[in-house]
Chain A
Amino acid sequence: MKITASRLLASGLGAMLLVLLYACAVTGVEGSVGYDGGYYEPYGYDYGGWGLGYRVGPSRCCDHRDDHRDVHREDHPGNRGGGRAPAYRPAPAGRSAPSIPGRSRTH
């Protein structure tokens, strides 16, 4: 009776282990299973509506910041909170905004 019970217990544990291993493989709990690189965004948002003058790309090399230091003037509509200092450290005023790399890939 004792032997039967222990065998039953062993079989049960074995089955549980199998189920657990399979579940890990399927759901990716184990470190290297499957791939997690994608992420769905929330649904229903608008990605367009860019107004005239809404420019997002890099400049050609090189835009001189000295020409437009008024971007962060206190009444600039993009500066929330009026004269608040920007949350970033601006590049030194004398430096030009760089462009993207221009060197071609050589095979």
Chain B
Amino acid sequence: MDRNGRTRHPPPRVCTAVLLFGICTAFARSADFELPPLNSPPTTETHPGKMLWADLVTPDLAAAEKFYGGLFGWTFQSLRGGRSDYALALLDGRPVAGLLQKAIALGEHRQSAWLTFLAASDIDSVKRLAVSHGAKVLADTKLYPMRGRQCVLSDPEGAVFALLASSSGDPPDYLPVTGEWIWSSLHAKDAGSEAGFYQNLFGYDVFELPSDDGLNHLILSTDNYARASTNDLARGSARRHSHWLNFVRVENAAASTAKVLALGGRVVVEPRMDRHGGMVAVVADPAGAPFGLMEWSDSDTKEEPK
């Protein structure tokens, strides 16, 4: 109010400046965050249904970096922007995974987890197909210009996975080195139905493998390479739900399991022989996110199918 009783307003120029500052600040925040490409240099390859990335969601990024760095020798590059605290995990300078810190609301119980990304160059068609076969969209398609377009879905049994149309092409088919993802398995109430669902999306060849436990264990392949397995959930507990599990290649599963314990993680499935003749184990990081360890000697792949 001035002495004549009139309300004083800031001059229009000041209002405009404040408005412009606000707009610039908001867009600067949005422009900060950019994921790097999967492949550098880019490839022209497409491998629908290939597991090509994994993101961890955790309430404690620093603790996760300490754990995975100690276990696999991963190093981390911090990417901060917007509301995200994200670390890119690198192995010998190559991106191998992402670690995202997300707060869990007070009073909420949520399980830290690794999210499995499957290659889908035509992401819109695959997403539509998935929804028409009973999937739900948990996070709709979003573009990260250098990384690509991605969305998060849950399959008909509720197992959560993501689709990624990589801007830099799909990674070539190499034998992963120690410390890289080597395998993914889906554990479901009905492995056969789930195999059918994913076959519809990616055109997988589905191979039935012999089992000693009376459960279905199926191999999903494309390009004449095994990409993943679908497995009936193990019996004996009511507290199971359908989920994807990703395995990192290790030299020695028993030694890595001991390291997991020393770093504050826990063992979920003790090391055991799997069908390729190497040991596998399932462990969980300090926040409880489960993942697998798999030994694979270079001679395990006896014949190059391609």
Contact check, A39 vs B160: say whether CB atoms are below 8 A apart.
yes
Question: Do residues A38 and B225 form an inter-chain contact, with CB atoms below 8 A?
Answer: no
CB distance from A69 to the nearest CB of B (A): 8
CB pair B205 A95 closer than 8 Å: yes
Q: Do residues A101 and B173 form an inter-chain contact, with CB atoms below 8 A?
A: yes
Chain A 40-59 per-residue mask, 1 if CB under 8 angstroms from chain B, else 0: 11111111111111111111
Task: Report which of B82, B206, B214, B241 forms a contact with A78, defined as CB distance below 8 A.
Answer: B214
Q: Is B72 close to A, CB under 8 A?
A: no
**Which chain A residue has the least Cβ–Cβ distance from B30?**
A33
Nearest to A22 among chain B residues (CB) is B26
Q: Is B257 an interface residue (CB 8 A)?
A: no
Chain A nearest Cβ from B262, distance in angstroms: 20
The minimal Cβ–Cβ distance linking B83 to chain A, given in whole angstroms, is 4
Q: Is the CB of B29 within 8 A of A25?
A: yes
Bound state CA distance, A32 and B27, in angstroms? 10
| B226 interfacial by beta-carbon distance below 8 Å | yes
Confirm or deny: B259 has a beta carbon within 8 angstroms of a beta carbon on chain A: no
Cβ contact within 8 Å between A105 and B177 = yes
Residues of A contacting B4 in the complex (Cβ-Cβ under 8 angstroms)? none
Interface residues in B14-35 (C-beta closer than 8 Å to A): 15, 18-19, 22-23, 25-27, 29-31, 33, 35
Q: A57-B229, A88-B206, A105-B174 are in contact. Are A37 and B224 (CB under 8 A)?
A: no
- B178-199 vs A, CB cutoff 8 Å, 1 = contact: the mask equals 0000110101001111011101
Partner of B152, one of A33, A39, A98: A39
Query: Do A36 and B207 touch across chains, with their CB atoms under 8 A apart?
Result: no
Q: Are B241 and A42 in contact (CB under 8 A)?
A: yes
B233-260 CB mask vs A (1 if < 8 Å, else 0) is: 0111101110101010000000000000
A12-43 interface with B by 8 A CB criterion:
14, 17-18, 21-22, 24-28, 30-43
Q: From the candidates B19, B229, B247, B292, name the one contacting A18 in the complex (CB within 8 A).
A: B19
Smallest CB separation, B68 vs chain A (Å): 15
Interface residues of A in 54-107 (CB under 8 A from B): 54-63, 65, 67-69, 71-72, 76-80, 86-91, 95-105
Interchain nearest-CB distance for B38 vs A (Å): 13
Any A CB within 8 A of the CB of B217: yes
Contact status B290-A47, CB under 8 Å: yes
Cβ contact within 8 Å between A21 and B195:
no
**CB-CB < 8 A to B185: which residues of A?**
56-57
Interface range on chain A (Cβ under 8 Å from partner):
35 or more
CB pair A47 B243 closer than 8 Å: yes
Contacts of A86 in B (CB 8 A): 192, 195-196
Closest to B161 in A: A39
Q: Is the CB of A34 within 8 A of B33?
A: yes
A46 touching B231 in the complex, CB below 8 Å, given contacts A41-B113, A88-B195, A88-B218: no
Kindly state the separation between the CA atoms of A51 and B111 in the bound complex, as whole angstroms: 24
Cβ 8 A contact of B206, one of A36, A63, A80, A91: A91
A53–B141 Cα distance when bound, in Å, is 39
Residue of A28, A54, A80, A104 most packed against chain B (CB within 10 A): A54
Most A C-beta atoms less than 10 A away, residue of B58, B104, B232, B276: B276
B142 contacts A by Cβ under 8 Å: yes
Given A39-B160, A56-B274, A91-B206, are A62 and B303 also a contact pair (CB < 8 Å)? yes
Apart from A35-B33, A100-B296: 17 A-B pairs, beta carbons within 8 A: A11-B9, A18-B22, A38-B55, A39-B115, A40-B57, A45-B243, A49-B235, A59-B276, A63-B207, A88-B196, A101-B301, A101-B304, A102-B175, A102-B304, A103-B173, A105-B172, A105-B175
Listed from nearest, the 7 A-B pairs whose CB atoms lie closest are A38-B57, A53-B212, A102-B301, A34-B82, A87-B196, A43-B109, A40-B110
Q: What are 15 of the A-B contact pairs (CB < 8 Å)?
A: A24-B26, A33-B29, A35-B84, A39-B57, A39-B115, A41-B110, A43-B110, A47-B282, A61-B302, A61-B305, A78-B215, A88-B192, A99-B225, A100-B183, A103-B175
